[in-house]
Amino acid sequence: MELAAAIDDFEVYLKAERGFSPNTVRAYHSDLRALRLFLERRGAGGDAPTLDALTLDALRDWLWEATRAGLSRATIARRAAAARSLSAWLARTGMLGTDPGARLTSPKTAQPLPRVISRAQIEGILAGLAARAADGDPVALRDLAIIELLYASAVRVSELVGLDRDDVDLDRLTVRVLGKGSKERVVPFGVPARSAIVDYLDRGRMPLLLRSGDRGGSPDPAPDPDPAPQPSADARRALLIGSRGTRLGTRSVYRLVAGLLEELPGSGPAGPHSLRHTAATHLLDGGADLRSVQELLGHASLGTTQIYTHVSAERLKQSYHLAHPRA
């Protein structure tokens, strides 16, 4: 069997049986395509590689070539993980007699501490957004709801833009999100986020939705000779609407958050994940237990959540050195 066909079948398995997100499947596709192209160059005659070409030595050579090409340790570790997953699946399904990736190791990657925004900085951002939304501008109302909900619930940006109106329970102050691996969870949010969402739903959402061309169902029975396009069914369900009357996309949220954070001091990524990191760290600073934060964030492993304890410890050390007379 050709390796290319096996990789295609593996991607179907990841989508249908493992429930991996499209972004995760694309990452696997990119890494395994690089592996296939390497094996094509490595083989004699330029024939398409078969599963027999997938050996431990070949996998090690592939990672070594990536190292010599200057790829980061994180990228090499990700490639190794993709190769191990593929070879394990091939062995489990009987397409390979043994698992060549079982002994494939990858470099340990340094886990940088995530960027965390101070409480004062968050308050300043939200105050500025509230001032912009005071005159009822639909985009400003939506942007305030976005930042309030991101910080209050610590959801991922993909989870945020995937929300439908019915996913938000304004009475119980909870939101139902579909996370990685199609795992559903319910997370709480606070009163300020509720106020921002209600204000957006009352004054901002419909004007944005009408930008798609929907005229709101005019009572005039006369036929329109040039009817405007109606909002899609997906847009009608969506909580957050973009400037063109369709469901808001992740890039729009990235641009919004990056613009708000670009003037703030500090290093590290300036995207929506910074607000997720910040919310988790502030929860731990405030006394929340690690297991509760894990459930809020939707982490499968507690070890993933533990990085925020290191952030809190770093903040504690900084405060100690600034405040203690004998620090």
Residues carrying an active site annotation: 156, 180, 273, 276, 299, 308
Q: Compute the half-sphere exposure of residue 106: CA atoms within 13 Å on the CB side of its CA.
A: 22
Amino acid at position 163, single letter: L
Name the strand (E) or helix (H) holding 178: strand 174-178
CA separation (Å) from 67 to 62, 64, 74, 188, 268? 9, 5, 11, 44, 24
* Positive or negative torsion for Cα 178, 180, 182, 186: negative
Alpha helices in the chain (DSSP H): 3-16, 22-42, 56-68, 73-92, 119-133, 138-153, 157-161, 191-203, 205-209, 233-237, 250-261, 272-285, 290-297, 302-305, 307-323
CA separation (Å) from 310 to 98, 249, 277, 304, 313? 40, 32, 12, 11, 5
Residue 50's DSSP bridge partners are 2
Given a contact cutoff of 8 angstroms between Cβ atoms, the answer to whether 144 and 197 are in contact is: no
Given a contact cutoff of 8 angstroms between Cβ atoms, the answer to whether 183 and 155 are in contact is: no
**Paired tokens of 46:** 């330029």
Return the DSSP state at 226: S
Quick one: three-class SS letters along 47-93?
A: CCCEHHHCCHHHHHHHHHHHHHCCCCHHHHHHHHHHHHHHHHHHHHC
Q: Compute the half-sphere exposure of residue 25: CA atoms within 13 Å on the CB side of its CA.
A: 17
